[in-house]
Chain A
Amino acid sequence: KAGVTQTPRYLIKTRGQQVTLSCSPISGHRSVSWYQQTPGQGLQFLFEYFSETQRNKGNFPGRFSGRQFSNSRSEMNVSTLELGDSALYLCASSPQGITDTQYFGPGTRLTVL
């Protein structure tokens, strides 16, 4: 099976802009989770979608949002970008969810200038 794919791999934006990241899960996986990784805060859970519904959510402001489509593909949107949003954004897919083995994509490196 093909692994988790994320697009784009690299992105440069300026403060105040918005960005949309995309994640395609492994075929058959219904859960997609998103994580932010920074040198200062490490890996932090953003949210999880399962069958098009947000099932779990981390402690991030409302500027961070997501959605999942009927084919399980997911998008994450960040509005009004801040410098501190510069990070590696990882998505992971799983058959059952975050309590089970998750398979991670290579990530999208977002730089906010």
Chain B
Amino acid sequence: SQQGEEDPQALSIQEGENATMNCSYKTSINNLQWYRQNSGRGLVHLILIRSNEREKHSGRLRVTLDTSKKSSSLLITASRAADTASYFCATDAISGQNFVFGPGTRLSVLP
């Protein structure tokens, strides 16, 4: 079964608005990563946050990690039409030797 679960499954916003996506997981992890996938550029790594970190920024992206709640959030500020894509969280569990993607959030940014 998948360890990561994204919420919401789909999100539609206007350009300039912020988009927030959430990810929950079930077991203790080493780190959590966020990826973006669109038809033009394939799967692209966005940001990695380690289990001992609580927040990380990269450009317009802000990721938080709450290991006590086993959850993470990805915030995209001032969204653009080019941000339209599916966003996935992925985790590697401390106990296992596996790498698990969540089902993804489909983000549509309307001009």
Choose from A98, A101, A104 the contact partner of B99 (Cβ within 8 Å).
A98
Task: Determine whether B111 belongs to the interface, using a CB cutoff of 8 Å to chain A.
Answer: no
Contact call A55/B97, Cβ cutoff below 8 A: yes
Q: A: which residues have CB within 8 A of B?
A: 33, 35, 42-45, 48, 55-59, 90, 92, 98-107
B33 x A101 contact (CB < 8 A): yes
What 13 additional pairs, Cβ within 8 angstroms, besides A99-B31, A100-B48?
A35-B101, A43-B90, A45-B98, A45-B100, A55-B97, A56-B99, A57-B97, A58-B99, A59-B98, A99-B30, A104-B43, A105-B42, A106-B42
Minimum distance in angstroms from A53 CB to a CB of chain B: 13
Question: Which residues does chain B contribute within 8 Å of A99, judged by CB atoms?
Answer: 30-31, 92
Q: A-contacting residues of B (Cβ < 8 Å)?
A: 2, 30-31, 33, 35, 42-45, 48, 88, 90, 92, 97-104
Contact partners of A35 in chain B: CB under 8 A: 101
| A43 with B92, Cβ < 8 A, contacts A90-B43, A101-B48, A103-B45 known | no
Which residues of chain A have C-beta atoms less than 8 A from B88's C-beta? 43
User: By CB atoms of chain B within 10 A, which of A33, A42, A92 has the most?
Assistant: A42
Q: Which residues of A contact B90 (CB under 8 A)?
A: 43
A44 CA / B19 CA spacing, docked (Å): 26
A43 contacts across to B, CB distance below 8 A: 43, 88, 90, 101, 104
